[in-house]
Structure formats: C-alpha cells, structure tokens
Structure 1
C-alpha cells in the first residue's frame, strides 16, 4: 500500500489585539474532545509568541478531517482565563471561523478536509471583552 507523505497546514491569524503572551494552537481529528485537543496524544500542537502578523505551521500532517482551536494566552499561564467562570477574557479562534454561541463550537462547525499535501488557512482571533 502506498502511503502519501505527510504535509503542512499553515495558519495566518488575524485581528490580534495585542502582542502580549503567546498563541496556543491545536489541531485534531478527534471530534469527541474538540476543542480541548491537548487530551489527544495524536493532535498537532504548537505555542508561538504573539505578534501583530502571525503565521504558524503544523508539519507532518497526514490526510484527514481536522479542526483547529486557538487561544491568545495573553498572560502565558497555560489556560483560558475567564470572567465569573464563564466568559473568556482572552482571545480565541477556530478553523472555518466557527462561531461561539454560549459554548465553544462543535467539531463539525470547524472541520476542514486536508489532502495531505499543503493547506493555507486564515483564522480570525475573537475577543469577548
């Protein structure tokens, strides 16, 4: 059986409100745990220093259906800070610009098909506060 080589997914992040902290990104095929894909050992994850014009790249990506979740962790404490335990204080974004309505989007709202070669996506960072 001929297995195609794994490729790259490049993400351009727009509408960053500051250059403080880092952007935490994860990409998964696991619909049951999205957007908390850190619990998926097969997920692709990266952390990059926040900047005005941001691009990040996932490498070694096999063909499949993926969803991406981003967190602008402005204080770099490794978690999504919230106000009153509910509303996000920090920025977030999802592939396919999936909307947040009282809860994070479902996998099916953010999923994109990757053919195993190369893909370029743009994700808008959103802030509630």
Structure 2
C-alpha cells in the first residue's frame, strides 16, 4: 500500500514538473484589415512560420471573415506559440476560394503583414514579426 501511495505521489510530482518545464505560452494575433474598397466577398488569411514556403503554403492557421457593408474587418489567430510569423491575406470577391490572377498580377485585393508599400512580391523576412505576447496589427489591402 505504501508503494502504491509513493508511486501516485511521484507520478503527480513528475507530471507537475513536466508541465511547468515544457508548457509554452500560447498567444493570439488580432488583424484589422485596412483599405477595403469593395464591400463584398470574404477575407481569407493565413499565418505562417515557414520561411521556405511563404506565401504559397496554406500556413499553420487560416481564418475567414465576411466583408461587412461598413466598419472594420477583424481577424484573429489564436493558440500560437512564441516565434516568428508572417501573414498573407486576400479578398475573395467571387467566392471561389482562390486568389484570382490577371497574368502574373493578382486580380483581387491582397495584403501582407508589415508591408505598407508594394515593390514586388515580399519575402518572409519582409513580412515577419516576432510573437512574444498577444498582439494586434493592421494589414493593408492592395489592388493592381
């Protein structure tokens, strides 16, 4: 009986220690979409921590929001671990869940984190931000 009690206590202590040692804080990023010119469609956004496949990959999390007739559009990515991330988003005007292209240029509004002026397609480093706490940011939409 003493052995069973000791085993239970030891297991509980080890469980608490491992949770303290390996627990990582999870954070959220709230994005306000700026520069919406057409009040229709949906905003699709993804957040990535993969420098190699950004912005082509679907990212590690995606969110979707209807474009309202007025007011700001806000998206929220939750449950993210501390690290370096970048966001890409676009306004799906025709609900085909694809960024439509006109040749090599996007035909629908699009945007990236930390990019306020487009000088060609940005890379991960240009869009990246360090997530160490809950944060909020604006992302501007561009249309060509």
TM-score (structure 1 length as normaliser): 0.87
The answer to which structure, 1 or 2, has the higher relative contact order (CA under 8 A, 6+ apart) is 1
- CA change 1:55–1:47 in 2 (3 A) is same
Cα separation, 2, equivalents of 1:66 and 1:97: 14
TM-score (structure 2 length as normaliser): 0.79
SS at match of 2:114: helix
Q: Which residue of 2 aligns with 1:56?
A: 75
Higher strand share: 1
Please provide the CA RMSD for this pair: 1.5
Structure 1 runs of 4+ aligned residues shifted over 4 Å read none
1:1-129 equivalent positions in 2, closer than 5 A: 1-38=21-58, 40=59, 43-51=60-68, 52=70, 53-83=72-102, 85-97=103-115, 99-102=117-120, 104-115=121-132, 117-128=133-144
Cα separation, 2, equivalents of 1:99 and 1:63: 27
Residues 56-111 of structure 1, C-alpha deviation per residue, up to 9 Å, x if partnerless? 1001011000000011111110111112x212110011000164434x21000000
- What runs of 5+ residues in structure 1 fail to find an aligned partner? none
Q: How many residue pairs get matched? A: 122
Query: Larger radius of gyration, structure 1 or 2?
Result: 2
SS at match of 2:125: helix
